[in-house]
Amino acid sequence: MPMEQICAELNIRPASFYANIPYSKGAYNLNEPSLCADQNVRYRERKKAVQQLQAAIATGAVEEQRLRLWEAICLFQDYPFTTTGRGKEKKGAINFKYTVSAPGSSGGRHYDGPAVDGFGNEMWISTGGEQKKKSISRSTVDLAFHNALEEQDREGFVLGPRKLGVPGVRSNLYAIFLRFGIIKAEPK
């Protein structure tokens, strides 16, 4: 039946009709999932990974924390991050994304911790599309993570990227750690 006829028979307004019809952003029972369905699945996976990381931080098991951190990093590849844009030079914020290397690639291969299936042990940061690229090994991420947790315990928050103690990539890791809820930014 047309919407007008349904509204007339049920004695409701069109707004009530639209509020009670099934979700319509995607098609149901398709062989190939829609783009919206893929985005929703990715969102749920990322949210779950951050929750698992937070739970591991609460329990205090270091190896579990490192594994959950790397799982979250792997799931957040191609997610848009922005640096804080501070420093002595008063640089503006920089938008960046990253990808994680494939398993068995040369980068980060000497990492001793547990592996995440399907992913290597190195991040490749790209800013401005593909203009600049730099790599961050998993051991550098672990060092920054350890420093962030120590600084968080001492101060209650982390006073900027320098406190992570990893030159060259600290602003990128600071933005990632803020998004994951690992650290709290300094109060304004």
pLDDT, tens digit, 9 for 90 and up, residues 31-56: 787 778 888 889 999 999 999 999 99
Asked whether residue 104 is assigned to any structural domain, the reply reads yes
CB-based contacts of 41: which residues, under 8 Å, 6+ apart? 33
Secondary structure tally for the chain: helices H, strands E: 6, 4
136 and 152 Cβ atoms separated by less than 8 Å:
no
Asked whether residue 48 is assigned to any structural domain, the reply reads yes
Higher-pLDDT residue of 109 and 105 is: 105
For the cut 90, the answer to whether the pLDDT of residue 130 exceeds it is no
* pLDDT, tens digit (0-9, with 9 covering 90-100), for 62-105: 899 999 999 999 999 999 998 887 665 667 788 899 999 888 76
Asked whether residue 185 is assigned to any structural domain, the reply reads no
Q: CA separation (Å) from 93 to 85, 89, 131, 164, 173?
A: 4, 12, 16, 18, 14
Asked whether residue 22 is assigned to any structural domain, the reply reads no
Asked whether residue 18 is assigned to any structural domain, the reply reads no
* pLDDT, tens digit (0-9, with 9 covering 90-100), for 145-174: 998 888 877 767 787 888 888 887 888 899
Asked whether residue 188 is assigned to any structural domain, the reply reads no
CB-based contacts of 8: which residues, under 8 Å, 6+ apart? none
Higher-pLDDT residue of 9 and 158 is: 9
Number of structural domains (the chain) is 1
In this prediction, residue 14 carries a pLDDT of 86
Q: Whole domain around residue 48: which residue ranges? A: 36-180
Asked whether residue 23 is assigned to any structural domain, the reply reads no
In this prediction, residue 102 carries a pLDDT of 85
Asked whether residue 1 is assigned to any structural domain, the reply reads no
In this prediction, residue 87 carries a pLDDT of 60
